[in-house]
């Protein structure tokens, strides 16, 4: 299925990038260009990322720290 219509990115491309080591949305953006134009695909991309990382215990996302 298409995740990003602006760039023509599919869920399989996102999953492949995750398998190759992209463990954050920023890394996926850099690798594929996903969520870099209108941003509407960011939520779906993050859901795919979370699901893939949860299914693969040896890959853990970098901790997220919010500015105080």
Per-residue pLDDT band for 55 (boundaries 50, 70, 90) equals: confident
Specify burial of residue 42 (Cβ count, 10 A radius: 0-12, 13-18, 19+): middle
Nearest to 64 by CA among 15, 24, 22, 21: 24
Q: Tens of pLDDT along 12-29? A: 999 999 999 999 999 999
Residue 39 has pLDDT above 60, yes or no: yes
- Would you kindly state where each structural domain of the chain is located, as residue ranges? 2-55
Q: In terms of pLDDT, which residue wins out, 65 or 3?
A: 3
Tokens of residue 37, six digits = 């134009």
What is the second-level CATH architecture of the domain 2-55? Orthogonal Bundle (1.10)
Q: Tens of pLDDT along 45-54? A: 999 999 999 8
Q: In terms of pLDDT, which residue wins out, 13 or 65?
A: 13
């Amino acid at each position: 299925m298409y995740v990003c219509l602006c760039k023509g990115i599919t869920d399989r491309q996102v999953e492949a990038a995750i398998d190759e080591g992209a463990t954050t949305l920023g890394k996926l953006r850099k690798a594929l260009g996903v969520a870099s134009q209108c941003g509407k695909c960011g939520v779906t991309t993050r859901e795919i990322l979370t699901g893939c990382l949860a299914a693969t215990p040896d890959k853990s996302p970098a901790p997220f720290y919010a500015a105080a």
